[in-house]
Chains A and B, each alone.
Chain A
Amino acid sequence: QVQLQESGPGLVKPSETLSLTCTVSGGSISNSFWSWIRQPPGKGLEWIGYIYHSGSTNYSPSLESRVTISVDTSKNQFSLKLSSVTAADTAVYYCARRTTVNRFYYYMDVWGKGTTVTVSS
């Protein structure tokens, strides 16, 4: 059974770069899409972007100028970098697997537990 685990610093200074890694266990990172989603305190869910195991990406336009998602198939990991962070980037960050059925329908069916990142000096 595939499991995901986020890791990275819980505190990032304003203007710096947030870096998180998601480790995939119990299965291969190949042949799937992998997503990052975040949730500010007390608020709803925001999709950040996803990456295919080949490295192709799709980002939310609202974050695209600051986001990079990458994959390391040798380590069964994918990563998120968000540059020039502000307090508005304070959130729980989740990684998730995107699964496709019937060629067109897709959903996020496996989620990490989430990691809290606070942006503060």
Chain B
Amino acid sequence: DIQMTQSPSSLSAFVGDRVTITCRASQSISSYLNWYQQKPGKAPKLLIYAASSLQSGVPSRFSGSGSGTDFTLTISSLQPEDSATYYCQQSYSTPLTFGPGTKVDIK
């Protein structure tokens, strides 16, 4: 199985800050990396697919980059509604695996 790790596990930032979350795969997964946002009591929502493609309807302040084993999700200007937990997920091979999540809070 491909193991996914994320850092940090949590962060707190001000509205307007630039926020970066890192995801690392235990082996190369090319660009087969997706990012999801999950708010409490809600289902995950797809933000980014194929490492850097923005899902339709997702605000452009969200962006993704990386390939191989190291990936980043960036929120260019944090908004109050971005308070959530963010998960990366690899689709390079089954079993599909998710990172442990990064909780983002607003200061």
Contacts and interface: CB of A to CB of B under 8 A. Distances in A.
Bin chain B's interface residue count.
20 to 34
A47 to B, nearest CB: 4
A31 B11 CA distance: 40
Contact of A94 (B43, B46, B91): B43
Contacts of B50: 101-102, 105, 107
B43 A112 contact: yes
Contact of A45 (B42, B49, B89, B94): B89
Nearest to B87: A45
Given A101-B49, A109-B55, A61 B95 contact: yes
A107 B95 contact: no
**Secondary structure at chain A's binding surface: helix, strand, loop or mixed?**
strand
A107 B91 contact: yes
Contact of A105 (B32, B44, B98): B32
A112 B49 CA distance: 19
A44 B85 CA distance: 10
Bin chain A's interface residue count.
20 to 34
Interface string A64-108: 000000000000000000000000000000101000011011111
A58 B1 CA distance: 14
Given A44-B87, A105-B49, A111 B98 contact: no
A105 B89 contact: no
Contacts of B97: 47
Given A101-B50, A105-B31, A109-B55, A62 B43 contact: no
Contacts of A104: 32
Contact of B44 (A45, A60, A61): A45
8 contacts: A44-B87, A46-B98, A47-B94, A101-B49, A104-B32, A107-B34, A111-B44, A114-B43
Given A47-B97, A61-B95, A101-B53, 8 more contacts: A44-B98, A44-B99, A45-B89, A101-B49, A102-B50, A105-B53, A108-B34, A111-B44
